[in-house]
Amino acid sequence: MLLDVGGLRVTAGGREVVHGASLTVARGEALGLVGESGSGKTLTCRAILGVLPGACAVASGSIDFDGVDLTTLDARGWRELRSTRVGAVFQDPASYLNPSLPVGRQLGEVLRVKGGLSRREARARVLELFAAVGLRRPEVVRRQIPSQLSGGMQQRVMIAIAIACDPDLLIADEPTSALDVKTQAEIVALLRSLRARFGLSLLFVSHDLAVVSELCDRIAVFRHGEIVETAPTAELLSAPQHAYTRSLLAAGAPGGLVHAVA
Ligand SMILES: Nc1ncnc2c1ncn2[C@@H]1O[C@H](COP(=O)(O)OP(=O)(O)OP(=O)(O)O)[C@@H](O)[C@H]1O
């Protein structure tokens, strides 16, 4: 198993908000996390990345990544993990990009500092990666600063940065939620093609069950800090076991979910 989280408990301001979450992601697999706002999806992802907000902490549980218990890592170990083995994309790409630096330079720096490429190698790789994430005219885009790009393009840049060092796992927390429906579909299609092309394992968070269904092999349903149900996507959609999953399905019908089941 690539990622194996067992009995994870997370506190926020001293109050427990994730109550013993267990989940696994096999190599090459995509696991979706769904559930209402505040149900603990983001803090679970941040615990796995070692980037919990200040007021939050892992109280107990295990986070095994490729045989290593991440809860034993020091700050340097976490940084190494994030720079090479686990990539992350969040809802608001603009807040993770430097507003005054051309995006090509930002990706180039990641490739040089974390990937060990020379300046020249990095420049060539920037163009390849920007093309791989579907940015047209990468030689123009690389010179632009974030505000010159649309939200969808900014998210493509973030995805390029996240996959720059060939991570084993990509954690995508609501990466499409701030985008319009058309761009959302394009980013989902991109993530699907990157999975196929690079064999990426994916932990994908969304409050939108239809989006998760299109991308993920299995789905875990969060409610009030607990995972109430985990099942293969087709099974979860056709025979949901938990009343809350049924209510999520009912809320999403008929549009996207019917399409997703078909
Ligand atoms: N920085 C923080 N300080 C204090 N409490 C927090 C913090 N971040 C999250 N929480 C609390 O922890 C709980 C879980 O939040 P979390 O962000 O993981 O939920 P979520 O399912 O990802 O929701 P959303 O879809 O809105 O992002 C919520 O009750 C939230 O209010």
Q: What percent of the chain clears pLDDT 90, i.e. is strictly above it?
A: 90
Task: Go through the domains of the chain in sequence order and give each one's CATH number.
Answer: 3-261 (3.40.50.300)
Q: How many Cα atoms sit within 13 Å of 118 on the Cβ side?
A: 2
| Residue 139 Cα to chain centre, angstroms | 27
ipTM of predicted assembly, 2 dp: 0.89
Structure token digits, residue 134? 């579907």
Tokens of 107: 């990706």
Asked if 32 contacts 220 with a C-beta cutoff of 8 angstroms, the reply is yes
* pLDDT for residue 220 is more than 80: yes
Assess whether pLDDT exceeds 70 at residue 79: yes
* Per-residue pLDDT, 256: 41
DSSP label at 240?
-
pLDDT score at 83: 84
Ligand 1 center to 126 CA (angstroms): 34
What's the CA-to-centroid distance between 247 and ligand 1, angstroms? 21
Q: What is the pLDDT of residues 80-106, one digit of tens each?
A: 999 889 999 999 999 999 999 999 999
Report the C-alpha gap between 34 and 49 in whole angstroms.
Answer: 18
Residue 155 CA to residue 159 CA, distance in Å, equals 6
Residue of 23, 36, 43 to mutate, ligand 1, most atoms within 8 A of C-beta: 43
Q: In what order do the strands lie in the sheet with 15-25?
A: 15-25, 3-12, 56-65, 68-69
Q: How many CB atoms lie within 10 A of CB 122?
A: 22
Residues 94/115/25/245 CA torsion (nearest 10 deg):
10
Predicted confidence (pLDDT) at residue 175 exceeds the cutoff of 50: yes
Is the Cβ atom of 42 under 6 angstroms away from ligand 1?
yes
Å from CA of 42 to ligand 1 middle:
7
**pLDDT band at 251; cut points 50, 70, 90:** confident
Ligand 1 geometric centre to CA of 191 (Å): 25
Per-residue pLDDT at 255 exceeds 60:
no
- Parallel, antiparallel, or unpaired for β 169-173 and 226-232? unpaired
Ramachandran area for residue 38 (φ above 0: left; ψ -120 to 50: alpha; else beta): left
**DSSP secondary-structure letter at 167?**
-
**Residue 51, ligand 1, Cβ within 6 A:** no
Alpha-carbon distances, residue 211 vs 43, 143, 241, 251, 255 (angstroms): 20, 32, 20, 14, 11
pLDDT for 253 equals 61
